[in-house]
């Protein structure tokens, strides 16, 4: 199984400042069809998990453009250009390239 490793596990940030979360996979996430099935999920307190980004850099419906994803192969990054109070929560990277799907440990984003 592919192991997903996120850093940092805790990210204290100041409102209005940028934030960045890294995710590394134990194997390349490039699928035989040429796509890379790396997603980012957000878990806010009391809310269902929410898809933010899929296939590395595609924002899902309704996701603000302050969220962006990048990376390739085994190294990926989620960036928030200017953190807002509603962004507090836990962020997970997840791969679906190789079965079974697997998740990072989660990064807790909190306001300083």
Partner 1 sequence: EVQLVESGGGLVQPGGSLRLSCTASVFSDLYMDWVRQAPGKGLEWVGRIRNKVKSYTTDYAASVKGRFAISRDDSKNSVYLQMSSLKTEDTAVYYCARDNSWKYDYWGQGTLVTVSS
| 14 or 70: CB nearest partner 1 | 70
| 37 or 77: CB nearest partner 1 | 37
Query: Which residues are CB-neighbours of 83 under 8 A, at least 6 positions away?
Result: 13, 14, 15, 16, 17, 18, 19, 109, 111
**Nearest distance, CB of residue 51 and partner 1, angstroms:** 5
Which has the closest alpha carbon to 59: 69, 49, 48?
69
**Nearest distance, CB of residue 96 and partner 1, angstroms:** 4
Q: How many residues appear in the chain?
A: 112
Query: Measured between alpha carbons, how far is 69 from 22 in angstroms, rounded to an integer?
Result: 10
Query: Measured between alpha carbons, how far is 87 from 60 in angstroms, rounded to an integer?
Result: 16
**Nearest distance, CB of residue 16 and partner 1, angstroms:** 29
Q: Applying CB under 8 A, which residues contact partner 1?
A: 31, 35, 37, 39, 41, 47-51, 54-55, 60, 92, 94, 96-97, 99-106
| 77 or 105: CB nearest partner 1 | 105
**Nearest distance, CB of residue 11 and partner 1, angstroms:** 15
């Amino acid at each position: 199984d592919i192991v997903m490793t996120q850093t940092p596990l805790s990210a204290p940030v100041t409102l209005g400042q940028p934030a960045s979360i890294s995710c590394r996979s134990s194997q390349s996430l490039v699928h035989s069809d040429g796509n890379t099935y790396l997603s980012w999920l957000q878990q806010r307190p009391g809310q269902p998990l929410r898809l933010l980004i899929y296939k590395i850099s595609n924002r899902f419906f309704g996701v603000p453009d302050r969220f962006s994803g990048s990376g390739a192969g085994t190294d990926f990054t989620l960036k928030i250009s200017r953190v807002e109070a509603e962004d507090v929560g836990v962020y997970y990277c997840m791969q679906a390239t190789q079965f079974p799907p697997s998740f990072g440990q989660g990064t807790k984003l909190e306001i300083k």
